Amino acid sequence: MRYLEVFAVAALFAFTGPAQANATSNSPIKDGLGAYFLAPHPGGFFGPSDPSPPEANYRTAAMMKMAAPTNQWYSSLMFERWSYPLFATPVSYRAGPNGFEVGVPTPTVSQAKSGYKEVIWPHRAELTINPTAFKPVDARLAGHGDWNVKVEMANGSDKFDATILHGSPFSYYKITRGDVRLRFDSDAVIAEHGVPSGVASFVVDGHPYAVFGPSGCSFTWVSPREMILHLPADSGYFSVAALPNDSMQTIKLFKQHAYAFVTNTRAEWTYDAKTSRVITHFVVTTHAMQGGETTPILGLYPHQWFDQSIPGLLPDVFPSVRGTIKLLAADEFTTQMTYHGIIPFWPKLPAAVGGSRVDSLLGGDVAKMYGAFGVQGPGTYWIGKGLGRAAQLMDIAAVQGKAGEAQKLENMLTQHMEDFFSGKNSSTYFVVDRSIGTTIGYPQEYGSVSHMNDHHFHYGYWINAAAQVALRDPTWAAKDHWGGMVDQLVHDIATDRRGLKRDPYLRNFDPYEGHSWASGDEMMNDGNNQESSSEAINAWAGLIFWGAATGDDKLRNLGIYLYTTEVQAVDDYWFDIHHIVFAPNYNRVLAAQVFGDKYAYNTWWTQNPREVQGINLLPITPASTYLGRDPKYIRLFFDGLKKEEAQYASSGMSDGTPSDIWQDVFAEYKALAFPKVARGDWKSQGSSESGDSRTHAYYWIKSLQYMGEPDFGVTADTPLYAVFKKSDGAETYLAFNPSDSSIPVKYSDGAKLVATRHALTSMVVSAPGATPKISESKLN
């Protein structure tokens, strides 16, 4: 989540919580050759004191013993007395002073003069539920699973709890004493005939609902806008469901499952290297409040049901901001997704097909790197961008045989990382904050400390750069050297254990929606959000490479799960390549921003279409090949960009950026499907994105001309692989082997090679039956 530039500057001065320790007690804590602190320094980079993270005080005592789950769809529960809207989708909720609000969002489309457009499904309190015997004083996070949340609204020993979860039309409630009141924001149309006992059914604002009470309960309609649910003294529970329709058949079906209260949810995944598949098993734990039924009704998002075999899907569905939610009466289901492989670097580009030009560009770009760090900001994001640029240049220099240039770039990388990691610099350093459970870098950028924003964006660049250094110099990456500090960043964004005090489980990643969220505190009426999906995927690629470089197969496989899942979600919710999510009247080729309640063609800092569309492409690295999965979409992308540029130019809204801004990124993206055309688009003297370089852009485009476009029809039985295919049928098979021994690699089309230890092995087959040409590339 990047705020407007004015806000970003203001955020650097923000101080939102007390320091955890005074200056005399804030001694560095060693981690290998590096060190971190337990509190920010009193003398900040831009002011008298660096900020602390926000205080997540609205948690129950049990939740205070664990790290605060920031950057989730429900995180606002922890930071203020009452929450912001919680978009469980297809139903939205809000814990407020008047009670617990429930609504089924409906869409609206907005468009401004400049061409900014969004489709928003805002929260509306169609019904509000509150106890009659007591008035809660606040709402607190009382528990959560991977996609369910428990909200506690209490006053002393009196408690009113709500459990909500992604995808489900149900919400579940418990109360310690008394009855509950339901108020409606318009006159309810009450179903009076054929409704089963213990059920009240009604339609509010065109949306049908049902309330399912325990045996012995009764309902009193005070007015068309108010109903009282009378609960037996020993049965303080009920559930509420939004219904796909108001038929008696649906009401009776929902009643069968209404008392299977969800108590926990888990997304358990495995990576099958032999088939290159990620299998995710979604499991729900329930408790039968009455009767013997323990099966809930779930809702599946498009990325979970599209191109999947899910038995038992119900015929009724819900429309939503994420597309059609399909219902399933089950306590588990499984998805399978293909991991198409990534590699940390590409092979040498021969002199005759562009290698000589790469060599000539390299010297100038290496020289420019010395002054490229921190030009746009001194914190972990902009330094990270510099690290990413230098790492890509280092790899190119190494495979092209320019050892001296590669060493210069490696020295730059280690110098800038160690500047933060060492704990010796008063303005650039890391803090492990134990009150909220996080590792934070100073100085902050874009609210990375005061709002806990964007950690995966920032640290993804660092982890990738560290992985590239580790492949050249394993000693540098050892835990007793600098690897321990890199691991601090890894753990911050990707701890794979639940319930720890140190960091929350998968801080940024939403296991059910299948993508990341960027806002740490989620204190917005639109819910949480993420803009640059490509920077999120860059972070997960970093985990894959760091795990591979350090021999941590568990971390590598976690990265593969996150990478593969988010790629699928991005294809649906950012690019809509299957045409199953965007509203017909949206008329845009992508959603540059995805929120809890909307998707928008916009950025936090500009409405320039080149940046609006480009922010979901960068950084371009060997892990970016997923962007080429649909060549038809790439055509659509550029057709849409051309139209938006014309509209933007005619609006008079230009912000003074170069007319060819990020032309290198766009050419590299186009090269994934049309490399020859892309070469004509790229201008060596044109605009260059701050995380890219002329050398990298030219090398990327010419490599794709030489190898062909990514071939997503072929997989391999090793984690680090890629396959490219030319129009004449020639195939290039790549496999990177970080281990100490050679390994055999088999591809799904029958091709085989032996991957050399500590090297990228390339096998080119010019035609079926032709003798393969095998070569190797190394970083040192």
Strands (E), 276-381: 277-288, 297-300, 313-318, 325-329, 332-338
Span 44-72, pLDDT tens digits = 665 667 999 999 999 999 999 999 999 99
Q: Would you say 777 and 763 are in contact if contact means Cβ atoms under 8 Å apart?
A: no
Binning the chain into helix, strand and coil, the percentages to the nearest 5 are 30, 25, 45
565 CB-contact burial (10 Å; exposed 0-12 / middle 13-18 / buried 19+): buried
Write down the catalytic residue from 146, 405, 410, 454: 454
Predicted local confidence at residue 42, as pLDDT: 86
pLDDT at 4: 35
pLDDT at position 741 over 90: yes
pLDDT at residue 2 greater than cutoff 80: no
> How much is the pLDDT for 652?
81
User: E strands within 274-428?
Assistant: 277-288, 297-300, 313-318, 325-329, 332-338
Asked if the model's pLDDT at residue 114 lies above 70, the reply is: no
Rounded distance between C-alpha atoms, residue 741 and residue 409, angstroms:
28
Closest CA to 392 of 621, 563, 75: 621
Does pLDDT of 21 surpass 50? Answer: no
Contact in structure between 41 and 7 (CB atoms under 8 Å): no
What is the reported pLDDT for 656? 84
Paired tokens of 558:
């976690």
Residue with tokens 């994105």: 689
* Type and span of the H or E element at 365: helix 355-369
pLDDT tens profile 488-497? 999 999 999 9
CA 659 – CA 679 distance, rounded (Å)? 19
Three-state secondary-structure class, residue 110 = strand
If one compares 16 and 142, the residue with the highest pLDDT of the two is 142
pLDDT of 697 over the 60 cut:
yes
Please, what sign has the CA dihedral across residues 573, 574, 580, 584? positive
Strands (E), 236-324: 237-242, 260-272, 277-288, 297-300, 313-318
What's the pLDDT at 769? Answer: 87
* pTM beyond 0.75, yes or no: yes
Confidence of residue 25 (pLDDT cuts 50, 70, 90): low
> Residue 233 burial (CB < 10 Å; 0-12/13-18/19+)?
exposed
Residue entry with tokens 């002011």: 47
Tens-place pLDDT, residues 493-513: 999 999 999 999 999 999 999
Residue 535: active-site member:
yes
Burial of residue 375, with CB atoms counted within 10 A of its CB: 0-12 exposed, 13-18 middle, 19 or more buried = exposed
Q: 3-class DSSP state for residue 442?
A: strand
Catalytic option among 410, 510, 535, 681: 535
CA distances from 686 to 15, 127, 385, 620, 648 (A): 40, 56, 19, 17, 21
Of 376 and 1, the one with more pLDDT: 376
pLDDT digits (tens, 9 = 90+) for 652-693: 887 789 999 999 999 999 999 999 999 999 999 999 999 999
Distance CA 100, CA 97 (A): 8
CA 344 from chain centre, in angstroms, equals 21
Q: Is the pLDDT of residue 111 over 80?
A: no
Instruction: Confirm if 436 and 64 have CB atoms less than 8 A apart.
Output: no
pLDDT of residue 694: 98
Where residue 116 falls among pLDDT bands split at 50, 70, 90? confident
pLDDT tens per residue across span 432-457 = 999 999 999 999 999 999 999 999 99
What was the pLDDT predicted at 651?
A: 85
Examine the pLDDT at 607 and tell me if it is beyond 60.
yes
d(CA 602, CA 589): 12
What is the average pLDDT score of the chain? 95
Tokens of 613: 């569309």
Per cent of the chain over pLDDT 90 is 92
Q: What is the pLDDT of residues 271-326, one digit of tens each?
A: 999 999 999 999 999 999 999 999 999 999 999 999 999 999 999 999 999 999 99
- Alpha carbon dihedral 545, 549, 552, 553, in 10-degree steps, equals 60
pLDDT the model gives residue 112: 65
What is the pLDDT confidence band of residue 768, given thresholds at 50, 70 and 90? confident
Instruction: Output 218-225 pairs: Cβ under 8 A, ≥24 positions apart.
Output: 221/190, 224/184, 224/187, 224/188, 224/190, 225/183, 225/184, 225/185, 225/186, 225/187, 225/188
Whole-number Å distance between alpha carbons of 78 and 81: 8
Distance (Å, rounded) from C-alpha 92 to C-alpha 124? 8
Catalytic residue among 152, 433, 531, 711: 531
Query: pLDDT tens for residues 369-378?
Result: 999 998 999 9
CB distance 51 to 14 below 8 Å: yes
Handedness of CA 622, 625, 627, 633 (dihedral sign): positive
Q: Is the pLDDT of residue 730 over 70?
A: yes
